[in-house]
Amino acid sequence: MNTPKPRILVTRAIFQSVIDRLSEHFEVEPNPDDVLWDRAELLRRMQGKVGVFATGTERMDAELLAQCPDLKICANMTVGYNNFDLPAMSAAGVLGTNAPDVLTETTADFGFALLLATARRVTESEHFLRAGLWTRWSYDMFSGAEVHGSTLGIIGMGRIGQAIARRAAFGFGMRVIYHNRSRLDAATEAACKASYAGKQELLQSADHVMLVVPYSAASHHTIGAAELASMKPTAILINLARGGIVDDAALAQALRNRTIAAAGLDVYEGEPKVHPDLLTVPNVVLTPHIASATPGTRQAMADLAVDNLIGYLTQGKAVTPLNSEVLTPR
């Protein structure tokens, strides 16, 4: 009699190659219709599963883990892992993995897509044109902000922050200042041509502020009304990190009052819902969490999650473990 294969849950629709590779080792329950399961449904489907292929929104906390005794690993295909309660996962002996590195350059490109679109009013002017309102050229029509030669302030100087800094310094001739929990070593600062600044100093002196800090309780509302008031009235704010890092209600108000000039956002508090006031202000560019969305990058992210599942469940080794203490037998 054949021993049954360990069972894996894939929570969302994903590349067929993911299902095929996982099926070589496991019995896979996929979600080809991409149904958005609520928590009760997710819990029901997790019963008897040893691994979960997740997309970064499935909350893994003590309450859920207590009801999933067979679970050994949850592999996010995202670099962000704020859906994981890591201490609870470690206590339950469940490994969490994420997908760093493979999306760094693509996400940094998108930071510039948002910055350029916002500074040069690309979407606002396109809507004007499509509405048939363009009747003549004029010297000040959709006059925007300079990007080249300006000062970029980056909050969060991990891999993506550094990739943005390199583009800014070497591609656009910008002066780059950054704020981070810990200061980078001198060689890394030199490679990014970036200098360290306190948060307040950065907010006051940057022409454009880009947020790439991971979400945690400590980074919740890193930018709120007080921080927006500290920024230049000509400043542009870009958030491509996570919803909740910016107080979206305060931002909408600051945009309406022109406390700052404009914002470019890829992530939102409570997404996919977007604060209604952000939808009515003209000086914001809004995209639906697509910073890493190219086929090659999304494939690489998914492949890394698959590598983690196969590696851990077949050989006890994960490529990008987050709570490595689970790997050491107690």
**Nearer to ligand DGY (CB atom), residue 158 or residue 311:** 158
Specify whether the CB–CB gap between 164 and 188 falls below 8 A: no
**Nearer to ligand DGY (CB atom), residue 150 or residue 297:** 297
**Would you list the DSSP string of 26-81?**
SEEE--TT-----HHHHHHHHTT-SEEEE-S-S-B-HHHHTT-TT--EEEESSS--
**Nearer to ligand DGY (CB atom), residue 80 or residue 244:** 80
Closest approach of Cβ 288 to ligand DGY, in Å?
11
Closest approach of Cβ 134 to ligand DGY, in Å?
34
Catalytic residue among 29, 105, 201, 271: 271
Catalytic residue among 21, 167, 179, 242: 242
Q: Which residues are 211's β-sheet partners?
A: 155, 239
Instruction: Give the neighbor-by-neighbor strand order of the sheet with 73-76.
Output: 27-29, 7-10, 51-54, 73-76, 95-97
**Nearer to ligand DGY (CB atom), residue 36 or residue 226:** 36
Specify whether the CB–CB gap between 156 and 180 falls below 8 A: yes
**Dist CA 254 CA 250 (whole Å):** 6
Closest approach of Cβ 147 to ligand DGY, in Å?
23
Collect all residues with Cβ–Cβ distance below 8 Å to 317 and sequence separation of at least 6: 311, 327
**Dist CA 35 CA 11 (whole Å):** 9
**Nearer to ligand DGY (CB atom), residue 292 or residue 323:** 292
**Dist CA 293 CA 316 (whole Å):** 30
Cα Rg, the chain, nearest whole Å: 22
Closest approach of Cβ 164 to ligand DGY, in Å?
14
Active site residue 242: yes
Q: Catalog residues that contact ligand DGY under the rule CB under 6 A.
A: 56, 78-80, 103, 291-292
User: Which amino acid does the sequence have at 330?
Assistant: R
Give the single-character DSSP code of 101. Answer: S
Collect all residues with Cβ–Cβ distance below 8 Å to 137 and sequence separation of at least 6: none
Closest approach of Cβ 56 to ligand DGY, in Å?
5
**Nearer to ligand DGY (CB atom), residue 18 or residue 103:** 103
Closest approach of Cβ 103 to ligand DGY, in Å?
6
Q: Which residues are catalytically annotated?
A: 242, 271, 289
